[in-house]
Structure 1
Amino acid sequence: MRICLVLEGCYPYVNGGVSTWMHQYITEMPEHEFVLWVIAAKAEDRDKFVYQLPSNVVEIHQVFLDDALRLKGTGVMDHAFTPEEIHALEELISSGKPDWDLLFSMYQVQRINPMSYLKSEAFLRAFEESLEKHYPYIAYADAFHSTRSRLLPVLYLLSTEVPKADCYHAICTGYGGLLASLGAYLYQKPLLLTEHGIYTREREEEIIGAQWVGKAFKQQWIQFFYMLSVLIYSRAYRVTSLYRGAMQMQIDMGAAAEKCSVIANGISYEKFCHIPRKEEDGMVDIGAVVRFAPIKDIKTMIYAFYELSTRMEHVRLHILGGVDDQEYADECLALIEQLHLQDKILVPGRVNVVEYFAKLDFTLLTSLSEGQPLSVLESFAAGLPVVTTDVGSCSELILGIPPDTFGRAGYFVPPMQREKLADAMEILASSREVRLSMGKIGQMRACTYFQYHTMLSKYRDLYKEVEELGRNRL
């Protein structure tokens, strides 16, 4: 089967949990051909892949959002919009409930030029009606630029070339979900959605704290991403997530419960389970398999470790991972120096974690948002307990959920709580017996519930179901 995977902001341009998962996923399914339809922010990243694409990747279509800024109009808009088309565009402008089939047709079949529309009288009329209805007391220019910046990427994506496939499988909602929905509509093929994190909730958190969105427009931007999630939730044949809490969020946001299921992450257990435990050497070594990115909250990690180091002398932290945000990484390294922790915090960068786990006593994750982190599952498989923040499925991983009765495999605390993180680390750092006991529990949990072959088998079954659906449509 020819499967179009639609990705946004990850594989194959950057390293990370989702990218690693995606690369292994494709590699382990040689019976299928994969078309990658990938969205990235900047055209300067074209072909700058950090992965060597597997041989069963037969095409890659790259779409860059900043290319939308270079769109040119075709002169005066000469399209005579029907009342239905006007209503669909008005709903899109207000982040309401547009007729997506009509919009897909307008930009793929009728080939309306996005920039010509945004410069047309038709757009100005629709914008002014929306402004009067939603923002009667907001400066015209501010509302105009905010609205255009929301619409331009969508109209650009609606007009992009659509690769052909037997199935469209989006790995997020948002812009990726939009493209997958477009492909499924245009070629009348099944649509699947797999979310590692709940994209819309992540964008909501980002927008609330963002400086680039004016306070008056934050709710409109949030509603915009909810609109995009409803699009694919309503059209997908199957919607999968990594854990029960995420599935419930998908249902709450509009996915039909009968479409939804959980397919937990899986790791190559055999690769990690034979790693020997570190012998006592007078030091307690804590590892953080994490890239330098604000969402990983490494600054709180550093502060929490500083607090721990004031309580216990013989502790070390190893930050193992690459750099997503160089400015943030520089700030973190400067903080390490400011706190005089250069001898206690080691930053070797990307390493072979299988080899490095033998040097560690437990691991640490301080993220502000996660789905079902592979670093936690790999730590468990290696027999290492974990301290995490209570995000995504981390609490479920630490404690287990029925029918899992193995017990506690570490600790979780609220995000950004440096003292509570230090408290949890201190418990594990104080007792080798506790570390070994919890590490064994984590290892049993990984072996029983999070094996890679189990996960892959479930996705293969999903593709078989879709393939049968396609045959029945013929």
Structure 2
Amino acid sequence: MTTDVCLVLEGTYPYVSGGVSSWTHDLIKEQPHLTFTLFCLVPPGFKTKMAYEVPGNVKEIVRVELQKLPKRLSKVGEKRKQKLMQDLIGPLLKLQTDPSLEDLEYLVTLLKEVGEIGREVLTDSPEAFDLLCQMYEKTLNTSSFLDYFWSWRSLLGGLFSVLVCPLPRSRCYHALCTGYAGLFLARASLESGRPCLLTEHGIYTNERRIEIGTAEWLDDRQSLNLNVDQRAVRKSLRDFWIESFIGYSKLAYQVAESSITLYEGNKELQIEDGADPQRLKVIPNGIDYEAYSRIPRKQGGRPTVGFLGRVVPIKDLKTLIRACSFLKAAVPEALVWIMGPTEEDEAYFEECKELVAHGGLEETVLFLGKVNIKEYLGKFDLLVLTSLSEAQPLVILEAGAVGVPSIATDVGSCSELLYGRPDEDPQLGPGGIVCPLASPSAIGEAMIKLLGEKELYEQCSRAIKARVDRYYRKELQNQAYRQMYDELLAMPDVDTLARVGARLPSEI
């Protein structure tokens, strides 16, 4: 089967609900003349329960578990295994420091020539352990070997799972982030010769920096580490992860005909990670303004604040919960609804519930779980997002179309959405309040201010509604992607290495 578009997804649609997944679902529905393959990269052991009813033009769903290589009893002899590992070490090291498409092509070709192999050879064999030891000596030989061992198995297991899995046949490939999805995009370009597209909502490497920087599991075995400078050890291990993902990003940027982001501020981060400025495009998110603007607003009742999103650390729900203590003291009757799936990180969800109980907020903060957004948007007065990282949150646009102002942290395009773009003419005024990261007092004060000052609230309500109407309609987004898909599908097959090599030096 050959489809028109292969969407390369990592940990999102159609199994996880959220902003990127909703965006993907709508993208497919709005291109009914095209057929799609969903190539879904998921964590090992991931429960693949559908969160969406996929549209009829999705003809194929391929699921690959990262770090879970197939169990294949290899017929490769001992000498061939040893030679394979020696051949792998050079390009694997370069992927962490100085990645190139030539090295990636070499890896793909090498693994293909060996035939069907799985974890028995690539991660679990004595030869693989020797490869690990050599890479350790050449890179991080002052760090904890045990920590390096688990990091190596995780990273290389993910890389190998992306390189040895079957490649779906499509007329173009479209990744919705870099990371492992971006690495697969580069492989697809090299093997198929078909054009590729990259869309980044958040910047993958930036989000991984946040997660890796706060990852407790990197310190779990520090008691076994005899190095004096513990801080340097942790930095090295974190750099090992971050540099790998930056390398994968560079490869994705090289093969993509265009790399799309949602707002101008993201382009600077893409360029830092190796993207060519000449092939960057901005296509803002859009929503069905007519549908959302018709949702009726609540009249009277208790002042209600809403959070819409996944209950995961990067959304920093703990800051919102702590801010609710300030809100309760000033507005005792206020309610705060936390709406969104809780199963992605159950330990974090439990910590949030404990924080609510510790603060005596059980009558103020309610966890509603996953809800139908359209049924709830008109039922609360104020939207609050306390995320550590965002791109262009759809929920601010959706709430804004209803006339609900937002409070958001100063991440992604939140400031642009709430205060307006530099070229906004005429200026519409603030559609809410932007707060610093991880500041419960600032979030609390903003909630109190907007709920307590009726004139300011009404001004923000009118401004955000008008801004969404003017700049963030779905029709503009759909037209842009339809045009890009048409251009990609009309392109002939190409030799990726020759195409990239023929670009100007500034474009490589």
User: Under a length normalisation based on structure 1, what TM-score does the superposition of the two structures give?
Assistant: 0.92
- Please point out which of 293, 297, 303 is paired with 2:322: 303
Closer/same/farther in 2, CA of residues 209 and 66 from structure 1, 3 Å limit: same
Q: 2:90: which partner in 1? A: 87
Q: Which range moves more in the overlay, 304-313 or 419-428?
A: 304-313
Alignment gaps of 5+ in structure 1: none
Verify the 8 A CA contact 1:286 1:363 in the aligned structure 2: yes
Q: Which residue of 2 aligns with 1:337?
A: 357
The CA distance in 1 between the partners of 2:99 and 2:312, in whole Å, is 34
What is the CA-CA distance between 1:144 and the residue it aligns to?
Answer: 4.0
Q: Deviations for 1:277-302, whole angstroms, at most 9, x for unmatched residues?
A: 43344x32211112222221112111
CA distance in 2, matches of 1:347, 1:120: 47
Aligned positions of 1:320-335 closer than 5 A? 320-323=339-342, 324-335=344-355
Tell me if the contact between 1:287 and 1:360 (Cα under 8 Å) persists in the aligned partners: yes
Contact 2:65 2:161 in 1 (8 A): no
**Equivalent residue for 1:156, pick from 129, 146, 161:** 161
Q: Which moved more, 1:337-346 or 1:290-299?
A: 337-346
Residue segments in structure 2 that go unaligned for 5+ positions in a row: 220-233, 496-508
Q: 1:71 to 1:205 in 2, by over 3 A?
A: farther
Q: CA deviation at 1:184?
A: 1.9
Q: What letter matches 1:163 in structure 2?
A: P
C-alpha contact 1:166 1:189 (8 A) present in aligned 2 = yes
Percent identical pairs in the alignment equals 34
Q: Is contact 1:95–1:220 with CA below 8 Å preserved after alignment? A: no
For residues 470 and 37 of structure 2, the distance between their equivalents in structure 1, rounded to whole angstroms, comes to 33
Which residue, 427, 431, 438 being the options, matches 2:449? 427
Q: 1:91-170 residue pairs with structure 2 within 5 A?
A: 91-92=94-95, 94-98=96-100, 99-111=103-115, 113=117, 115=119, 116-118=121-123, 127-170=132-175
RMSD across aligned positions (CA): 2.4
Counterpart secondary structure, 1:265 = coil
Q: What is the CA–CA distance in structure 2 between the aligned matches of 1:140 and 1:320, rounded to whole Å?
A: 42
Question: Which amino acid letter does the alignment assign opposite residue 159 of structure 1?
Answer: V
1:436 counterpart residue number: 458
Give a deviation string over 1:314-334, Cα, whole Å, max 9, x none.
322122222132232233233
Instruction: Give the match's secondary structure for 2:407.
Output: strand
Whether contact under 8 Å (1:169, 1:180) holds in the other structure is: yes
| Structure-2 separation of matches of 1:72 and 1:406 | 65
Verify: 1:408 aligned to 2:427, yes or no. Answer: no
- Equivalent AA in structure 2 for residue 454 of structure 1: L
AA aligned to 1:276 is P
Residue 310 of structure 1 aligns with an amino acid whose one-letter code is: A
Name which of 447, 460, 466 aligns with 2:469: 447
* 1: CA distance, partners of 2:90 / 2:306: 55
Q: Pick one of 234, 248, 254 that aligns with 1:228.
A: 248
> Structure 2 residue aligned with 1:213, among 211, 218, 225?
218
User: How far apart in 2 are the matches of 1:316 and 1:348?
Assistant: 12
Change in CA separation of 1:85 and 1:149 when aligned onto 2, cut-off 3 Å: closer
Q: In the TM superposition, what whole-angstrom CA distance separates every residue of 1:143-179 from its partner, at most 9, and x where no partner exists?
A: 3443333212212221111100000100011111111
Alignment of 1:174-253 (within 5 A): 174-214=179-219, 215=234, 216-253=236-273
User: Displacement of 1:389 after TM fit?
Assistant: 0.9
Amino acid at match of 2:197: L
The answer to whether 1:463 aligns with 2:482 is: no
Q: Retained in 1: the 8 A contact 2:34–2:57?
A: yes
Structure 1 CA distance for aligned equivalents of residues 150 and 412 of structure 2: 34
Question: Which residue is 1:65 aligned to?
Answer: 66
Aligned pairs for 1:359-370 within 5 A? 359-370=379-390
The one-letter code sitting in structure 2 at the alignment partner of 1:317 is: V
- Among 335, 355, 365, which residue is 2:375 paired with? 355
CA contact under 8 A between 2:89 and 2:135: conserved in structure 1? no
Counterparts in 2 of 1:146 and 1:402: CA distance versus 1, 3 Å: closer
Contact 2:71-2:118 within 8 A present in 1 as well? no
Paired residue secondary structure (2:483): helix
Of the structure 1 ranges 204-213 and 443-452, higher mean CA displacement relative to structure 2 is found in 204-213
Q: What SS does the aligned partner of 1:35 have?
A: strand
Which moves more between the two structures, 284-293 or 137-146?
A: 137-146
CA drift of 1:223 comes to 0.6
Q: Give the 3-state SS of the residue equivalent to 2:41 in structure 1.
A: strand
Structure 1 residue 347: Cα displacement: 2.9
Matched residue SS, 1:415: coil
- Shift of the alpha carbon at 1:353? 2.8
SS at match of 1:426: helix
1:43-88: per-residue Cα shift (whole Å, max 9, x none)? 4524x21211110000111001252285655452516459976532
Can you list the C-alpha shifts for 1:133-152, whole angstroms capped at 9, x where unaligned? 43343455543443333212
- Number of aligned residue pairs: give it: 470
2:72–2:116 CA contact under 8 A, matched in 1: no
C-alpha distance in structure 2 between counterparts of 1:172 and 1:199, whole Å: 6
1:55 maps to 2:56:
yes
Q: Is the 8 A contact 1:106 1:112 kept in 2?
A: no
Q: Is the 8 A contact 1:284 1:429 kept in 2?
A: yes
1:289 maps to: 308
The separation in 1 between residues aligned to 2:86 and 2:68, in whole angstroms, is 30
Deviation at 1:443, TM superposition (A): 0.6
Q: 1:140 to 1:364 in 2, by over 3 A?
A: closer
Q: Which amino acid aligns with 1:16?
A: G
Q: Give the stretch that moved more between structures: 189-198 or 244-253.
A: 244-253
Contact 1:3 1:32 in 2 (8 A): yes
**Separation in 1 of the partners of 2:23 and 2:110?**
36
Work out whether residues 362 and 435 of structure 1, in 8 Å CA contact, stay in contact via their aligned partners in 2.
no
User: Within 1, Cα distance between the matches of 2:144 and 2:323?
Assistant: 44
Instruction: Tell me the equivalent position of 1:266.
Output: 286
| CA drift at 1:469 | 2.1
Amino acid at match of 2:80: D
TM-fit CA distance, 1:339: 2.4
| Residue type of the alignment partner of 2:460 | M
Match of 1:318 among 337, 341, 359: 337
Which stretch has the larger CA shift, 111-120 or 158-167? 111-120
Contact 1:361-1:435 at 8 Å conserved across structures: no
Change (3 A) 1:361 1:471: same
Q: What corresponds to 2:502 in structure 1?
A: none
Deviations 1:365-392 (A, max 9, x none): 1111111111111111111110011111
Residue aligning to 1:387: 407
Separation of aligned partners in 2, 1:53 and 1:227: 32
1:244 CA displacement: 0.8
Residue 120 of structure 1, CA deviation:
6.6
Summarize the Cα distance change of 1:145–1:274 in structure 2 as closer, same or farther, 3 Å threshold: closer
